[in-house]
């Protein structure tokens, strides 16, 4: 694994920015060197050309001295048509012609850079040659000076290198500071998140003022914490309600047994047993409801089979007689994919409630509308006020009217029914009705 993977974002961005700046500076320095080099070369060539022209003038006027003055250019020679050096600057006195450059017939002059000439074995020279007509033949004036090196001047290279290093250092420091400043809110968020646990879910991460991605992250983290806090609160309430509901029948059972044991001779043990059985039944129902909810919450897998909803309703309603009349309006052929036991449980929970609250009749309807199967349980009781229509689906909720009617309910029937509807890809709601309560479950139809 590469070492760079362990580097912080700050370090990585700083290195990337510095490398990019170093490459840019290098490119700019090379371009600058090339430009200055070109200028210096053409300036030097011009100097050499000017010096040669002066000598050409002397040759033409016939006033050529044997030793030429070395003013701007140190190396000048005049060579006659036989290749003999007629005149030269002091540095070239006694030397053979420095170059053998030929000038084309059509031109008066030639010039180029020549390296390792016999007179200058260690360096490259810019050499310019001029043709002059003298004593009825062609003479040549050669002038030369050292070529400009690639770096032009060591001070220029030093300046460019220092400038580049300075730019890279400024870029590195700047990037390190800016990235550090930008990422500080992320560090703050991490530090706060690291300290949050289940006991202090009320804490929130700091939201930076700038409207950027980090602010969005902080807002989303806080929204997630809000949801988590609510969920944990719900779970706590659920656990405490569940323990409370489990304890009541246990306390009752204990009180009955203790009272009976105080006066064993006067106790009707059959009556005590019946009372104990009632409490046990209640406990059993509660525990099985809790288990069912836990399974639904955990998303425990359920079976899926093709079911005719009307047939399912018929067989469930035929199972036992009801206190009130249950009418059925069942459309045949409404098919859904589902878990038979769970859907039957949903129906029983709804019909049990309806039966408990109805005054005379309950109506169960199965129909299909659009792509949905609709199962309705309607009663003619007191109904559920609109502001309580969502509340009744919360766990352990029992409205006041129900508490007085039947002490046996736990308030888990509707939450279980809704979870079953949801688990089948549908929904269970309370809807408007002229009289009583109307529970409507909508489930996706099976594609047949």
Ligand X SMILES: Nc1ncnc2c1ncn2[C@@H]1O[C@H](COP(=O)(O)OP(=O)(O)OP(=O)(O)O)[C@@H](O)[C@H]1O
- Site residues for Mg ion per CB under 5 A: 353, 413
Q: What is the CA radius of gyration of the chain?
A: 52
**Chain CA centroid to CA 256, Å:** 63
174 binds, among Mg ion, ligand X, none (CB under 5 to 8 A by kind): none
Q: How far apart are CA 181 and CA 72, in angstroms?
A: 60
Q: In this chain, which stretch among 178-186, 206-214, 346-354, 365-373 interacts with ligand X, using CB under 6 A?
A: 346-354
β pairing state of 325-330 and 361-369:
parallel
CB of 262 to ligand X, least distance (A): 33
Q: Which of residues 367-386 bind ligand X (CB under 6 A)?
A: 379, 381-382, 384
Q: Is 215 in the site for ligand X (CB under 6 A)?
A: no
The answer to whether the CB of 415 falls within 8 A of the CB of 293 is yes
The answer to whether the CB of 71 falls within 8 A of the CB of 89 is no
37 vs 282, which CB is nearer to Mg ion?
282
Q: How far apart are CA 355 and CA 102, in angstroms?
A: 123
CB of 353 to Mg ion, least distance (A): 4
Residue nearest Mg ion (C-beta atom): 413
Q: Is 424 in the site for ligand X (CB under 6 A)?
A: no
CA nearest to 68, candidates 76, 59, 56, 79: 76
CB of 260 to ligand X, least distance (A): 28
164 vs 382, which CB is nearer to ligand X?
382
CB of 437 to ligand X, least distance (A): 4
Using CA atoms, how far residue 300 sits from 22, 250, 297, in Å, is: 60, 29, 8
Q: How far apart are CA 411 and CA 395, in angstroms?
A: 6
For 10, what's the count of Cα atoms within 13 Å in the CB-facing half-sphere? Answer: 13
Q: Is 409 in the site for ligand X (CB under 6 A)?
A: yes
Under DSSP, the state recorded for 74 is S
CB of 228 to Mg ion, least distance (A): 30
Which of 143, 160, 317, 354 touches ligand X (CB under 6 A)? Answer: 354
Which of 97, 185, 413, 426 touches ligand X (CB under 6 A)? Answer: 413
Chain contacts with ligand X (rule: CB under 6 A): 289, 349, 353-354, 357, 379, 381-382, 384, 392, 397-399, 401-402, 409-414, 437
């Amino acid at each position: 694994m590469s070492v760079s993977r362990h580097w912080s974002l700050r370090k990585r961005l700083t290195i990337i920015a510095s490398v990019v700046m170093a490459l840019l500076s290098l490119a700019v320095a090379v371009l600058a060197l090339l430009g200055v080099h070109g200028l210096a070369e053409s300036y030097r060539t011009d100097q050499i050309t000017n010096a040669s022209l002066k000598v050409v003038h002397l040759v033409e006027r016939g006033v050529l001295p044997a030793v030429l003055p070395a003013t701007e250019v140190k190396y000048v020679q005049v060579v006659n048509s036989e290749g003999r050096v007629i005149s030269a600057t002091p540095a070239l006195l006694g030397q053979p012609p420095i170059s053998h450059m030929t000038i084309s017939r059509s031109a008066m002059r030639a010039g180029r850079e020549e390296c390792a000439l016999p007179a200058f074995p260690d360096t490259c020279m810019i050499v310019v040659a001029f043709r002059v007509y003298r004593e009825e033949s062609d003479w040549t004036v050669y002038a030369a000076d050292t070529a400009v090196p690639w770096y032009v001047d060591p001070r220029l290279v030093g300046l460019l290198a220092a400038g580049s290093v300075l730019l890279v250092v400024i870029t590195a420091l700047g990037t390190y500071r800016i990235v550090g400043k930008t990422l500080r809110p992320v560090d703050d968020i991490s530090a706060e998140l690291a300290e949050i646990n289940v006991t202090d879910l009320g804490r929130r991460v700091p939201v930076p003022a700038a409207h950027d991605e980090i602010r969005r992250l902080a807002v989303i983290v806080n929204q997630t914490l809000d949801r988590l806090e609510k969920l944990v609160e719900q779970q706590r309430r659920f656990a405490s309600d569940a323990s409370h509901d489990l304890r009541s029948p246990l306390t009752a059972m204990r009180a009955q047994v203790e009272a009976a044991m105080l006066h064993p001779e006067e106790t009707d043990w059959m009556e005590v047993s019946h009372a104990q059985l009632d409490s046990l039944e209640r406990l059993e129902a509660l525990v099985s409801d809790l288990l069912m909810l836990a399974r639904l919450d955990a998303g425990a897998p359920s079976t899926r089979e093709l079911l005719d909803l009307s047939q399912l309703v018929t067989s469930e309603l035929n199972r036992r007689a009801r206190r009130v009349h249950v009418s059925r309006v069942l459309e045949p052929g409404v098919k859904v994919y589902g878990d038979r036991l769970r859907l039957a449980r949903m129906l029983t929970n709804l019909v049990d409630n309806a039966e408990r609250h109805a005054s005379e009749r309950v109506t169960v309807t199965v129909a299909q509308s659009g792509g949905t199967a609709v199962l309705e349980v309607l009663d003619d009781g007191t109904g559920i006020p609109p502001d309580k229509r969502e509340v009744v689906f919360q766990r352990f909720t029992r409205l006041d009217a129900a508490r007085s009617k039947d002490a046996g309910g736990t308030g888990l029937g509707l939450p279980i029914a809704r979870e079953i509807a949801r688990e089948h890809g549908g929904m269970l709601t309370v809807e408007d009705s002229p009289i009583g309560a109307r529970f409507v479950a909508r489930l996706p139809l099976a594609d047949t």
